[in-house]
Structure formats: C-alpha cells, structure tokens
A and B are shown apart, each in its own frame.
Chain A
Amino acid sequence: EDQVTQSPEALRLQEGESSSLNCSYTVSGLRGLFWYRQDPGKGPEFLFTLYSAGEEKEKERLKATLTKKESFLHITAPKPEDSATYLCAVLGLNSNSGYALNFGKGTSLLVTP
C-alpha cells in the first residue's frame, strides 16, 4: 500500500530563515509526486509535479527535489506570506488507475516577521 509521511508536522521560521520540508514515500511504481500549498479555509493549490529521481523544479522561493525514497521542498529566504500548510501526494501504478492521489498529513509552516 502506498504511504506518504511528511515531517516536521509544524515548522516556525523567522523571515529570511531558509529550511526544508520532507516527504518520505513508499509506492509501487511512482507515476508522479505532487506538492500543494493549502491556506486556511481554502483548497489545495498546485505547486509542482516531479516524475523521476533527480528531478528538480523551482517557483519563486520554493524548490522541490526528488529521490527514490523522498522529496524535499526547500524554502529560501521565506516571507510571512509563505505561511501555509504544504501537502505532498503521490500517484503510483496501483493508485486507482492513475488518478487517486495519496496525500500526507502536511507540514504547517509559520513564517514570522
């Protein structure tokens, strides 16, 4: 069974203090690893999809990387507006024919001025 574990559960950073969020996964044949951002009272907002080990993607202060067992979301010089819950999800070969995302519980990030 596919499993996704995110750590830490919560992270508090000072503005400008770079850090990384971790997503460890086990999946039967990775078809895609997804990162989403979720603000309170809102739905998940798509950030990145990674497909194979070694792949990296960047968007503003965020950079996502992927290995065979985990993904990292690096946040460089964060700002208070980066505060949100970051969700990781995987799609595997056995995941309901390629459409049922398996989500982790998320990392709640708070960036203080």
Chain B
Amino acid sequence: NAGVMQNPRHLVRRRGQEARLRCSPMKGHSHVYWYRQLPEEGLKFMVYLQKENIIDESGMPKERFSAEFPKEGPSILRIQQVVRGDSAAYFCASSPPKMDGASYGYTFGSGTRLTVV
C-alpha cells in the first residue's frame, strides 16, 4: 500500500528554466494538496485539486505557477521561469473523497527539493 509518491526527490534548475514536480496520491485518494516549505519558514498551503478540477489556488503565486490533476496520471505542479526565491521543498498531501480536513490527518509525500542556481 504505497503512500503519497513524489518525484523527483531533488531537482536543480537554472534561473529561467521550467520545473515540473509530480505527485501520485495514495490509492483511493482523489484529493491532492500542495504545500511549500521555504527555509526557516513553516509549510504554506498552495493549491487544492480534485481530479480535473482546481478547487482552491489561493496560496499560489499569481505568476509562473500552475497546477493540474488530470483524469489519468499524477498531479503536476509547474513553475515557469524559475528564480532563486523558488528554491524550497514542495510537499504534496492527499486525502480520500468525502473526508474533510478535520476528519483526516492528511498523508504527506517525502517532497521535492527544488534548487535554483
């Protein structure tokens, strides 16, 4: 029973390149949440997705960031034209359908550590 799978574990990009981070939720989970952890900062909510739907992207920077969760395949967090300030750990969490956040503790993946050089 695999947990939340994220890849790659580490990603190095030069300034101006694109970064694609992938998240496969736990089996049976259809809700995906992305969080970002900046150095010396707490985890910050970015976006909540269900299959083929963005439910809430209020935590996403307005430019260069986008997320999707297609009918088939993993959820993708895409960062275009990366800058040094995008360097952080990006975590994905998932939850089952019909369970709100207060009922379920969320299962997090091991994260992708993005370094922009």
Interface residues of A (CB under 8 A from B): 4, 31-32, 34, 36, 41-46, 49, 51, 87, 89, 91, 95-106
Contacts and interface: CB of A to CB of B under 8 A. Distances in A.
Interface residues of B, number: 28
Return the 5 tightest CB-CB contacts between A and B, nearest first.
A43-B108, A46-B105, A99-B101, A103-B42, A32-B102
A46 B107 CA distance: 7
B42 A31 contact: no
B56 interface: yes
Interface of B: 4, 6, 31, 33, 35, 40-45, 48, 56, 58-59, 91, 95, 100-102, 105-111, 113
A34 B102 CA distance: 9
Contact of B106 (A31, A46, A106): A46
Given A34-B105, A51-B102, A96 B43 contact: no
B43 A31 contact: no
A99 B42 contact: no
Given A32-B102, A43-B108, 18 more contacts: A34-B106, A41-B110, A43-B6, A44-B91, A44-B108, A46-B107, A49-B105, A87-B43, A95-B101, A96-B45, A96-B58, A97-B56, A99-B101, A100-B33, A100-B45, A100-B59, A101-B101, A104-B42
Q: Which of B4, B45, B105, B109 has its CB near the most chain A CB atoms (within 10 A)?
A: B105
B85 to A, nearest CB: 18
14 contacts: A34-B106, A44-B43, A44-B91, A46-B105, A46-B106, A89-B43, A95-B101, A99-B48, A99-B95, A100-B48, A101-B35, A101-B43, A101-B106, A103-B42
